Amino acid sequence: MTLKKQLEDLRDRAIKNIDSTLTLNDLNQIRVEILGKKGPMTEVLRGMKDLSASERPVVGSYANEIRDVITEKIEKKKIFLEAVKLNQTLKEEKIDVTLSGKKVPQGVRHVLSQTLNEIEDIFLGMGYEIIEGYEVEKDYYNFERMNIPKEHPARDMQDTFYITDDVLLRTHTSPVQARTMEVHDFSRGPLRMISPGKVFRRDTDDATHSHQFNQVEGLVVDKGITMGDLKGTLEVMVKKMFGQERKIRLRPSYFPFTEPSVEVDVSCFKCGGTGCNVCKHTGWIEILGAGMVHPNVLEMSGIDSNEYSGFAFGLGAERVAMLRYGINDIRHFYQNDFRFLEQFKIKE
């Protein structure tokens, strides 16, 4: 049998097998058996060494034509079988759109995020800026720029996470205020800002304490700012957060960065001021600290304390949320218990 005849028989047999195959795996097996290195096509081509120099080009060209015919036949069959397989898969995976759907649980915005957003909205409405800063801060901005130099006894009030001698995890968001004061252009208007964010203190976690919590500090600096401006601002905030019937009172206190300094109480929202277990029968609940910005703090920021004055305040988002919702353990905020968190789902 001549090589040409062998090639024709190989072509006819391959086409017959390709036409009859029903799966992609069988088709791939046919391709390997016929066109592979150990297949009949290779064997036929090896026999060309026995041909004369004039016959080799003719038989070689014919062999390439046969190979192309078989290859094209395999590709067409492959496309057909893939389409068949896809249709079968679609048929088996058909979805009955008339079936009732499954309810997907909806996430809940964390109660602390809700509280922080409310506080931010209140002060945005009063023309304040929201400015965030670094959680890893320099000792200089965290303490010294707040009128708390090294060896100052007030540092004992805030056990600090130090990273190096000069770098720490901020104990309050006051460094944001210091950084903002030194770059604010008062020719363009007064400085009105709040600085929300996480703060860190070396504290033992219990029902009322946490080594990490959220703080919102506010600052206003301009000409002619008085304690009356501070009280009016806090009254607006308290009434919007706790109800229009709430009252506030200011008690003398001490903070290194304000002078004079005050503790701010809100009238008890459970008993209305008559006395109960929530307010410890005093009628008042302590909510935040505040005061007039200390002249030293202004001067260190390059602000003339004879011409400008300001007030500052700081409150904890966790404390506000605990008071509003009657939560008795701060650890609930951080334990990620969905049964607790879903109680504060926002009503759209």
Specify the pLDDT at position 347.
Answer: 54
Mean pLDDT across the stretch 123-128?
95
> Tens of pLDDT along 75-117?
888 888 888 888 888 887 777 778 888 888 777 789 999 999 9
Contact 289, 313 (CB under 8 A): yes
Confidence of residue 46 (pLDDT cuts 50, 70, 90): low
For the chain, the maximum distance between any two Cα atoms, rounded to a whole number of angstroms, is 120
3-state secondary structure the chain: CCHHHHHHHHHHHHHHHHHHCCCHHHHHHHHHHHHCCCCHHHHHHHHHHHCCCCHHHHHHHHHHHHHHHHHHHHHHHHHHHHHHHHHHHHHHCCCCCCCCCCCCCCCCCCHHHHHHHHHHHHHHHCCCEECCCCCEEEHHHHCHHHCCCCCCHHHHHCCCCECCCCEEECCCCHHHHHHHHCCCCHHHCCEEEEEEEEEECCCCCCCCCCCEEEEEEEEEEECCCCHHHHHHHHHHHHHHHHCCCCCEEEEEEEECCEEEEEEEEEECCCCCCCCCCCCCCCCEEEEEEEEEECHHHHHHCCCCCCCCEEEEEEEEHHHHHHHHHCCCCHHHHHCCCHHHHHHHCCCC
Domain 111-344 class, CATH top level: alpha beta
Contacts of 4 (CB under 8 A, 6+ apart): 59, 62
CA torsion through residues 11, 14, 20, 23, sign: negative
Of the chain, the percentage scoring pLDDT greater than 90 comes to 49
234 or 5: whose pLDDT is higher? 234
Question: How many Cβ atoms are within 10 Å of 135's Cβ, its own excluded?
Answer: 14
> Tens of pLDDT along 195-220?
999 999 988 888 888 999 999 999 99
Of the chain, the percentage scoring pLDDT greater than 70 comes to 93
Contacts of 135 (CB under 8 A, 6+ apart): 169, 170, 197, 198, 200
Specify the pLDDT at position 295.
Answer: 96
Specify the pLDDT at position 51.
Answer: 67
* Sequence spans of domains, the chain: 3-92, 111-344
Mean pLDDT across the stretch 10-29?
84
Residue 348 has pLDDT above 50, yes or no: no
Nearest to 297 by CA among 142, 139, 145, 96: 145
> Tens of pLDDT along 170-189?
999 999 999 999 999 999 99
198 or 44: whose pLDDT is higher? 198
Report pTM: 0.67
Specify the pLDDT at position 312.
Answer: 97
> Tens of pLDDT along 315-329?
999 999 988 888 889
Mean pLDDT across the stretch 67-71?
82
Residue 37 has pLDDT above 50, yes or no: yes
CA torsion through residues 191, 296, 196, 283, sign: negative
Mean pLDDT across the stretch 54-66?
74
